[in-house]
Amino acid sequence: MKGNRIMGRKKSLYLVIALLLVVGVSIRYVAGTYAKYTSTLSASGTATVAKWAFTEENTSTALTLNLTTTVDPTSLVSGKIAPGTEGNFALRLSNTTSDVGVAFTISFASTTNVPTNLVLKYNNTSFNPSTGTITGTIAKGGSISIPIDWEWPYSTSAANDDLDTTDGENAATMTLTANITGVQTNPTQAVTTTASVN
């Protein structure tokens, strides 16, 4: 009887141990099903500064224009201008290697000995070289040619004749200088390549 009790206790002990092992394994298994991957991430961004390369294709941003015209050699000495002469020149503005748009202004305020009645014309709009300007914009990677006509009209007015005569009596070398400035356009706004007289 005593032996049976000891035997029964041993079986109960084994059964308890077995149950504890099963419970331990089950707890580990359940705990494992709730495990998760965790990571810490970092991110960085880079940007390259846009290139600025606005130029006048032939020279620097301040250039002296050589005014020439075809005249009858029996009426006027070659290389000189007088009332009734006209001619043209072109400024070629380049933004081809820039990464941004440009707003430009062309002025002719830095001039010397320009005849009073001499006028410049762009896109069929005349303007006084001392006060008028040409403004416009060029898209990134673009360029524009600005053909400019000049004219010293042959006057039919007595008042203009007097002005022309005074300019002729004070004959001197005329210098017409184009001053070109460029400013980056707002990168949030669309840019077209265009120009107009102001």
The pLDDT of residue 61: 46
- Domain extents for the chain? 55-197
Integer Cα distance of 123 and 194 in angstroms: 11
Q: For 58-81, how does the pLDDT look when each residue is reduced to its tens digit (9 = 90+)?
A: 654 445 565 655 566 777 777 777
pLDDT for 26 beyond 90 = no
Burial zone of 44 (CB within 10 Å; 0-12 exposed, 13-18 middle, 19+ buried)? exposed
| Top-confidence range, 46-55, 117-126, 148-157, 165-174 | 117-126
Query: Which fold, 55-197?
Result: Immunoglobulin-like (2.60.40)
Q: For 160-170, how does the pLDDT look when each residue is reduced to its tens digit (9 = 90+)?
A: 677 767 767 66
Cα–Cα distance list, 190 to 47, 66, 95, 160, 194 (Å): 21, 36, 15, 45, 12
**Average pLDDT value over all residues in the chain:** 75
